[in-house]
Amino acid sequence: MEILSMALRNLLARPVRSLLTLLGVLIATTSMVLFLSFGEGLRRSLAQELARVGPAIQLVPEGMEGLGFSGYPEITPEEYRRAVAAGKELGVRSIIPTLFLVRGGFDPQTSFFFQGLPQGVAPDLLYPGVRVQEGGLLPSAKGAVVGAKVAKRSQLSLGSPLRLSPRVELRVEGILEEGGGLADNLIFVPLKPLQEVLGTQNYTALLVALNPGQKAEEVARALEASLPGLKTQTTGDVMRFAERALRISDLVRFGISLVALAVGGLLVANTVMMSVYERTREFGVMRALGAKRGFIFRLVVLEALLLSSLGGLLGLLLGSAVSQAINLYTLEQVGLALSAVTPRLSLFALLVALGLGLSAGILPAYHASRIPVVEALGRV
Distance CA 5, CA 168 (A): 76
Q: Tell me the residue type at 55.
A: P
Beta carbons within 10 angstroms of residue 306's beta carbon:
19
Burial class of residue 373 in the structure, from the number of CB atoms within 10 Å of its CB (0-12 exposed, 13-18 middle, 19+ buried): middle
Average pLDDT over residues 332-351: 84
C-alpha count within 13 angstroms, C-beta hemisphere, residue 29: 35
Exposure of 229 in the CB half-sphere (CA atoms within 13 A): 9
pLDDT digits (tens, 9 = 90+) for 113-144: 899 999 888 888 888 788 899 999 999 989 99
User: How far apart (Å, rounded) are the C-alpha atoms in residues 74 and 205?
Assistant: 8
pLDDT at 70 over 60: no
- Residues 26 and 354 sit within 8 Å (Cβ to Cβ): no
User: What's the pTM value of the predicted model, to 2 decimals?
Assistant: 0.63
Which amino acid, residue 6? M
Helix (H, G, I), strand (E, B) or coil at 170: strand
**Residue-wise over 154-172: b if at least 16 C-beta within 10 A, else e?**
bebeeebebebeeeeebeb
> Which range, of 3-12, 92-101, 152-161, 214-223, averages the lowest pLDDT?
3-12
| Residue 248: CB atoms within 10 Å | 11
The confidence band for 291, taking pLDDT boundaries of 50, 70 and 90, is confident
What's the whole-number average pLDDT of the chain?
A: 82
> Could you tell me if 205 and 58 are in contact, meaning their C-beta atoms sit under 8 angstroms apart?
yes
